């Protein structure tokens, strides 16, 4: 009887210990005024049924970009690491002696990473196949996506930011321009990439020696796009030196046309007609097909650098048959989770990228997902896609001088009022741990030190 009583005391002590964060993490939370009811935490050793730490782990919370773990794991299992996306070119007319008397149709199927370099190579292939002059129109067939119209300003009223680019069946170069700002003695020179045709960069930036915080260097000027001009006006701080940023300042169709015309002209081709949207008709003939990089490579960009539009493209691919839609993808992911014995009744999916005020998952179910992924035959592919603590991706600058550096693969998430992290930590004893730490609070942006304190504590176990 005494033995049983002692065992019960030990069990209660263990459960009590498992309910608390380590002192170092608690201290950091108190510093910034984040109460424990605003966090969700689960820490468990891989393969163990009982968690070491559980705090509000059954509460549905906003996971921010850690939701990409659901999307990329589902994609690896459902599509396979060798999956590729296609983009097709059709000729609707007669091609003779390099001249197409008719239309060139480009049909997209949602390639998440059709960069300008790849686009140039593909257009060069069209030239090598004998196409030089297009006397008809350039038609973009983006009908593979069945999506409602998207307002890029809806999320945070900052429509030019690259993270706000919406998905598109014919996504070229993430629909962004890279602006490089190069101040000299009296002015700011701007170089933009890739080349665009028919769009003028109107640089009205004024160089200022006024002291500014270089973390906010781009908040002193405006970028105002129109159908033919991109106007930049305001002040650029000379003390901040050269800077660059990726911005989305044109609708998909206008951007694709501007890049196509610039590259096609560079390759010696001509286009006589206009650009318009349409579909591949019965008289069109397939001329060439471009294939993307394999999925195994693309999920590294999605997870290491938290690329939102790539994640949204991938999410839509999960439900695509004849056409892709958010509803179909959501149904496919829910069905897949049930097949994996990962029922998540609280799960809310909006775009699969975490760039959402609506998406929800519990820390406990995120931990269960990571446990399932760890046991999957393609576990190495998923883990290799995650940022390495103190080394690369979104955790490159975190805990660089800590013993935990290089000993964790972690996905981060950040929104206004949300700071999250989830992934794997290898402790100094050689054990593998699953760590999930969600913060949903007005002061969440200051919560990184608390998350880092927990990671260091786990690494020491």
Nearest alpha-carbon partner for 438 in 372, 373, 346, 351: 346
117 shares a domain with 52: no
pLDDT of residue 19: 56
Among candidate residues 187, 213, 247, the one where a domain is terminated: 247
242 shares a domain with 138: no
Contact at 8 Å (CB) between 314 and 302? Answer: yes
Q: Is residue 190 part of a domain?
A: yes
Among candidate residues 263, 293, 323, the one where a domain is terminated: 293
364 shares a domain with 238: no
Q: Is residue 155 part of a domain?
A: no
Q: Is 381 exposed, middle or buried (0-12, 13-18, 19+ CB in 10 A)?
A: buried
Q: Is residue 166 part of a domain?
A: no
How is residue 375 written in tokens?
């046991």
The rounded distance, in Å, linking the Cα atoms of 74 and 94 is 43
pLDDT of residue 16: 39
How is residue 222 written in tokens?
């405006």
359 shares a domain with 422: yes
Q: Is residue 168 part of a domain?
A: no
433 shares a domain with 305: yes
337 shares a domain with 222: no
Q: Is residue 399 part of a domain?
A: yes
The rounded distance, in Å, linking the Cα atoms of 279 and 263 is 23
Contact at 8 Å (CB) between 362 and 60? Answer: yes
Q: Is 293 exposed, middle or buried (0-12, 13-18, 19+ CB in 10 A)?
A: middle
How is residue 25 written in tokens?
């993490």
Residue 100: which CATH number?
3.50.80.20
Residue 63: which CATH number?
3.40.710.10
Q: Is residue 256 part of a domain?
A: yes
422 shares a domain with 340: yes
54 shares a domain with 94: no
Contact at 8 Å (CB) between 138 and 95? Answer: no
pTM listed for this prediction: 0.92
Q: Is residue 264 part of a domain?
A: yes
Report how many domains make up the chain. 3
277 shares a domain with 302: no
413 shares a domain with 274: no
Q: Is residue 210 part of a domain?
A: yes
Rounded average pLDDT per 10-residue block, the chain, 461 residues: 45 47 96 96 95 97 98 98 98 98 98 98 98 98 92 83 93 96 90 92 89 81 86 89 92 96 97 97 98 98 97 96 93 97 97 97 98 98 97 96 97 97 97 98 97 97 91
Which tens digit of pLDDT belongs to each residue from 52-78?
Answer: 999 999 999 999 999 999 999 999 999
221 shares a domain with 107: no
Among candidate residues 293, 317, 348, the one where a domain is terminated: 293
274 shares a domain with 366: no
Domain that holds residue 184: 177-247
């Amino acid at each position: 009887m005494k033995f049983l009583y002692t065992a019960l005391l030990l069990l209660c002590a263990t459960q009590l210990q498992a309910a608390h964060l380590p002192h170092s993490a608690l201290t950091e939370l108190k510093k910034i005024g984040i109460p424990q009811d605003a966090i969700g935490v689960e820490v468990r050793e891989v393969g163990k049924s009982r968690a070491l730490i559980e705090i509000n782990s059954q509460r549905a919370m906003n996971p921010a970009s850690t939701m990409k773990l659901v999307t990329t794991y589902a994609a690896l299992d459902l599509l396979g690491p060798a999956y590729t996306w296609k983009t097709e070119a059709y000729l609707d007319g007669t091609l003779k002696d390099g001249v197409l008397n008719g239309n060139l149709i480009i049909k997209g199927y949602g390639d998440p990473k059709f960069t300008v370099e790849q686009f140039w190579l593909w257009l060069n292939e069209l030239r090598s196949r004998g196409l030089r002059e297009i006397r008809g129109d350039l038609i973009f067939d983006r009908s593979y996506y069945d999506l409602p119209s998207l307002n890029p300003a809806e999320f945070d009223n900052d429509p030019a930011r690259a993270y706000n680019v919406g998905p598109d069946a014919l996504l070229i170069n993430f629909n962004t321009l890279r602006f490089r700002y190069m101040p000299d003695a009296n002015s700011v020179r701007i170089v933009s990439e890739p080349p665009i045709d028919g769009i003028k960069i109107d640089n009205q930036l004024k160089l200022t020696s006024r002291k500014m915080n270089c973390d906010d260097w781009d908040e002193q000027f405006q970028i105002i796009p129109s159908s033919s001009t991109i106007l930049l006006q305001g002040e650029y701080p000379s003390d901040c030196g050269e800077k660059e940023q990726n911005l989305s300042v044109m609708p998909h169709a206008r951007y694709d046309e501007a890049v196509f015309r610039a590259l096609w002209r560079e390759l010696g081709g001509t286009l006589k007609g206009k650009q318009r949207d349409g579909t591949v008709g019965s008289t069109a003939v397939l001329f060439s097909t471009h294939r993307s990089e394999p999925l195994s490579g693309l999920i590294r960009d999605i997870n290491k650098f938290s690329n939102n539009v790539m994640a949204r493209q991938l999410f839509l691919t999960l439900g695509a048959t004849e056409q892709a839609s958010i509803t179909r993808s959501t149904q496919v992911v829910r069905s897949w989770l049930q097949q994996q014995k990962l029922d998540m009744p609280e799960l809310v999916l909006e775009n699969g990228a975490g760039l959402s005020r609506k998406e929800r998952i519990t820390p406990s179910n995120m931990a269960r997902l990571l446990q399932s992924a760890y046991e999957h035959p393609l576990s190495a592919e998923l883990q290799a896609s995650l940022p390495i603590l103190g080394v690369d991706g979104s955790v490159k600058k975190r805990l660089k001088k800590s013993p935990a550096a290089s000993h964790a693969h972690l996905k981060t998430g950040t929104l206004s009022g949300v700071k999250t992290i989830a992934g794997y930590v290898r402790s100094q004893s050689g054990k593998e741990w699953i760590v999930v730490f969600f913060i949903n609070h007005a002061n969440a942006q200051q919560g990184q030190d608390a998350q880092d304190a927990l990671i260091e504590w786990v690494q020491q176990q």
